[in-house]
């Protein structure tokens, strides 16, 4: 990992809009959103390389989301010319990490990532409570994991 590097941050991707990533030890969770698509990322870090699984839901005309899944990787690089922190990677469908296309991002300076309570384990108090997210209250709901809502996107 380059000096001063960490996957935690908000990135702007020409391919997939805003990406919010949070690294805890060697684990990374994240979300991305652009126009009619939104997705989640979960993976493991080894040095400057993040290998991840992604799940994406894309809104369709019929108002039913189409879901896709796959794998990918990000290499964390620092551009020596301007000290920008960059993700350079690729995504693939199913078990493949490659073949789907490039996936790059530029880290925003001084911006903190925000994840939904579903991705962050229910610890996001700044995102506000919604009627759709029964796990955000945490007290007395007794909601099982099964109902945590694959239909939220």
State pLDDT tens for residues 55-106: 999 877 667 768 899 999 999 999 999 989 999 999 999 999 999 999 999 9
Asked whether residue 125 is assigned to any structural domain, the reply reads no
> What is the extent of the structural domain holding 59?
9-115
Asked whether residue 148 is assigned to any structural domain, the reply reads no
What is the token pair recorded at 62?
């019929």
Q: What is the CATH number of the domain that holds 13?
A: 2.40.160
With a cut of 70, say whether residue 152 has pLDDT above it: no
Asked whether residue 133 is assigned to any structural domain, the reply reads no
Indicate if the alpha-carbon torsion angle 82, 87, 89, 91 is positive or negative: negative
State pLDDT tens for residues 21-65: 999 999 999 999 988 889 999 999 999 999 999 999 987 766 776
Overall number of domains in the chain: 1
The C-alpha atoms of residue 81 and residue 4 are separated, in whole angstroms, by 16
End-to-end Cα separation, the chain, in angstroms: 33
The C-alpha atoms of residue 37 and residue 57 are separated, in whole angstroms, by 6
Q: What is the pTM of this model?
A: 0.73
Nearest residue to 53 (alpha-carbon basis) of 23, 28, 16: 28
């Amino acid at each position: 990992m380059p000096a001063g590097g960490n996957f935690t941050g908000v990135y702007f991707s020409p391919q997939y809009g805003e990406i919010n990533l949070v690294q805890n030890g060697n684990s990374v969770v994240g979300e991305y959103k652009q126009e009619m698509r939104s997705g989640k990322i979960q993976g493991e870090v080894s040095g400057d390389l993040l290998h991840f699984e992604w799940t994406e839901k894309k809104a369709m005309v019929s108002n039913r989301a189409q879901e896709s899944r796959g794998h990918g990787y990000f290499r964390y690089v620092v551009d020596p010319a301007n000290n920008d922190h960059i993700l350079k990677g690729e995504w693939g469908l199913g078990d493949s990490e490659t073949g789907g296309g490039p996936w790059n991002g530029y880290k925003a300076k001084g911006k903190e990532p925000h994840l939904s309570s579903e991705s962050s384990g229910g610890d996001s108090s700044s995102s506000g409570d919604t009627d759709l997210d029964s796990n955000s209250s945490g007290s007395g709901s007794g909601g099982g994991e099964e109902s945590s809502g694959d239909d939220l996107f």
